[in-house]
Structure 1
Amino acid sequence: MQGGVGPYLTVFLTSARHWQAGPVGLAMAVAGFAAALCQIPAGLLVDATRWKRLLIAAAALITAVSCLLIVSFEGVAPVLAAQIMLGAASAVIPPALSAISLGLVGRKRLPGRISRNQTINHCGSFTAAALAGVFGQYWGLHWIFYFVCGSAVVSALALLLIRPGEIDQNVARGSEDGSDGPPLGLISLLTCRPVWVFLASIALFHFGNAAMLPFAGQVMALSHPGKGTVTLSACVIVAQFTMMLVAWAVGLAMRQGVGNKAIFMIAFAILPVRGILFSWVEAPLAIVAIQILDGIAAGIFGVIAIVIAADLTRGTGRFNVLQGMVALAVGIGGGASNLVGGYVVQLEGYRTGFLFLTAIAILALVFFAAFMPTSSRQSRGQSQSQSQYPSRGRSPDRPRA
């Protein structure tokens, strides 16, 4: 359900509704803008409310209603309204799930819980991609929307299995256990050096990453006409399967005492390799194989970014706000990647475009390695509790990753 209908909406609107490219692009852009605008407000809402299960259930039901709007009405306005709703719902679900996880298991066991969350998440995405392909092939594209709608309803019902009394609401928003004080001011959070270094690193990471697969798909469509859709579907499935395995492996590495920064460095180091490989290959099988690298990097990112956010906001009450900022940084980096990279390709060609993204990826790696503080897994729960913000009247020691 969380993956939504984005990958299939363009095909549905083009083939079933016979929309022109302009309105299709507008519909896709509206969802992205809505998601970006809602990221930080969603984080603030998740931090402020004790009804986190209800938030996820509401987002799931909004997703279901949006899918029904798209299938039931043919006009532009209902589709745009549905896309705005889908974008807003997508901003709520990840921070609310992470907050519930933190409130259920506590900070010490959060890395293992997030690792399992992401493993199950990618398993769901992998299965959903396969089932959506079957539904679309044999029963029609509109059944993909009914499938997502059904998944949303089941997701809302599954929340009943979580006992609300077992969620520590203070811990769930990043405060210390037993603390019910006011959260840290947003200015103090943003001016904390490790926080903005972390956000800048994420923006650079996605600046160098986001446009690689779309460019590879365009190259493949030009060099191997007729194979683009099948190959891109294979890329999604291969990447999701890889992410599932990597998310599990990251949890194992953290339990063995490997530091967050060291694990995250692997994801940063993979991007330049992937860009160089894409600049030299055009064969569909080679492109699918390169997506294994994307699965490794994305699998690491999905786990470590949440764990680092929890570390940086310990005792601040701003865990979910920082998650919203992370999602916004992802959107900014991804948008810049497609926008700037697209013009580089238009002016200089695809190979130069890939090499440009490779250079950005190298910059991201160097920036993160040079400026992001280092921490060890063994110190969790001890030295991490001394990650302080001067504006709270505490010691000036910096929060660590």
Structure 2
Amino acid sequence: MSTRPIDHRNTFSLDALNFFLADVRDGLGPYLAIYLLAVHHWQPASIGFVMTLAGVTALVTQIPAGALIDHTHRKRAVIAIAALVVTFSCLVLPFVSSFSLVAITQTMSALSASVFAPAIAAITLGITGPRAFTQRTGRNETFNHAGNAVAALLAGGFAYLFGPIAVFYLMAAMAIGSLISVSFISANAIDHNLARGAVASTSGEEHLSGFSVLLANKALLIFAICCALFHLANAAMLPLVSQKLAQINLAMATPLTSACIVAAQLVMVPMAMLVGSKADTWGRKPLLLAGFIILPLRGVLYIVSDDPYWLVAVQLLDGIGAGIFGALFPIIVRDLTQGTGRFNISLGAISTVFGLGAALSPGLTGLVLQEAGYNAAFLTLAAIAAVAFILLLLAMPETKDSSQASTIND
């Protein structure tokens, strides 16, 4: 389990891959909604259905994507093909306007993008080995958040100068950048046994545990529940803040929301660096608890004042919580699956669980908002986040040494 030799070409190529894929992984999101509304004058229900279809596609393909990455030795090719599909779906959008064609392009894009996260995690683990994985994952997240911030700034500027259609070309350009970046990663540098969390084998034989590892691992199940509660509380907070900003000052709602997104991403950069440098010495759980406690605190602070700048300032705390969680997520899953050969399918399974929590969040919040108002909605999300924190505190073990134990047992 020693650290593998460092190849600087692979290091910089991984940096570039994470930077360029940052915006591509998340899809067009609100930019698509703005384009369809402003240019094609779609009804909100049609826009919502297309976005929901893309979201459901991304949700149900997480586990198959993880399984594919666990078993294939062509991880770079999978990323390249997915990047080409995303590029095509972006470039074709300005030339189609029918509901069916737009829905098809977004479904294709969501299906392809589902492989990016497990593929990057697998390539990273296969190149660095388990001991250097924590530091490299922190670096991955650093470049990911930097890419998101730069993409958001460019998207805002290009959309202002050339209209919302410019965002599609920007995302296509970033997808092409990711295609070039992955081509510079050496195929021979990836140990495919290590990449799926199995024990490296010089004989080339595979010693894989069954799919039951996902159900039999109690700590993994607890972590999945904590993640689902975290996203159930977190996913609706920014949209809720945006709605409140629109009620207070409609003209400033969009600029303030955009500033909030960019600033939060910039806050996530040092958080990812902190995880990469300290998670192996401080342990995973203290850092994860710090990230989780931020969420109920945000929910309570939102009700303190209706001042727009106060709301934006509080939203910046998302950069701390989400930044820590995002960097620790693959590290903890790797800890709990090391030696099983099911690292990426486990990533996919937990991503599906917390994706379901995120999908339910807006609906739950909307019901509370309609019946009891903004303060009640924020406090409901804060209460869910508090439950997630308590469960994490009481039931989730420290996982730092789990990978060593599983390797010894195997």
Tell me the TM-score range normalised by the shorter chain: over 0.9
CA distance in 1, matches of 2:369, 2:347: 32
| Residue aligning to 2:133 | 110
CA shift at 1:147, angstroms? 1.1
Alignment counterpart, residue 232 of structure 1, candidates 257, 262, 266? 257
What is the 5 A alignment of 1:294-333? 294-333=318-357
Alignment counterpart, residue 249 of structure 1, candidates 249, 255, 274? 274
Partner SS for 1:108: helix
After superposition, the Cα gap between the structure-2 partners of 1:199 and 1:381, relative to the gap in structure 1 and judged at 3 Å, is: closer
Alignment counterpart, residue 219 of structure 1, candidates 236, 244, 262? 244
CA shift at 1:70, angstroms? 1.6
Amino acid in the other structure paired with 2:60: L
| Residue aligning to 1:398 | none
Alignment counterpart, residue 289 of structure 1, candidates 297, 303, 313? 313
Match status 1:35 vs 2:50: no
| Residue aligning to 1:144 | 167
Identical-residue share of aligned pairs (%):
38
Partner SS for 2:251: coil
CA shift at 1:326, angstroms? 2.1
TM-score, structure 1 normalization? 0.93
Contact 1:69 1:79 (8 Å CA) reproduced: no
TM-score, structure 2 normalization? 0.91
| Residue aligning to 2:9 | none
Alignment counterpart, residue 190 of structure 2, candidates 167, 177, 180? 167
| Residue aligning to 1:391 | none
Q: How many residues align?
A: 385
Structure 2 unaligned spans of 5+: 1-23
| Residue aligning to 2:83 | 60
Partner SS for 1:141: coil
Match status 1:8 vs 2:8: no
CA distance in 2, matches of 1:277, 1:322: 35
CA shift at 1:78, angstroms? 1.1
CA shift at 1:375, angstroms? 3.9
Match status 1:133 vs 2:156: yes
Contact 2:288 2:328 (8 Å CA) reproduced: yes
| Residue aligning to 1:397 | none
Alpha-carbon deviations, 1:336-379, whole Å to 9, x = none? 22111211111111101111111111100011111111244xx4
CA distance in 2, matches of 1:66, 1:182: 39
CA shift at 1:384, angstroms? 5.1
Q: Which runs of 4+ in 1 moved over 6 A?
A: none
Contact 2:193 2:200 (8 Å CA) reproduced: yes
| Residue aligning to 2:298 | 274
Amino acid in the other structure paired with 1:57: A
Structure 1 unaligned spans of 5+: 389-393, 395-401
CA shift at 1:281, angstroms? 2.5
Match status 1:348 vs 2:378: no
Contact 1:272 1:362 (8 Å CA) reproduced: yes
| Residue aligning to 1:261 | 285
| Residue aligning to 1:385 | 407
Amino acid in the other structure paired with 2:25: Q
Alignment counterpart, residue 371 of structure 1, candidates 395, 399, 405? 395
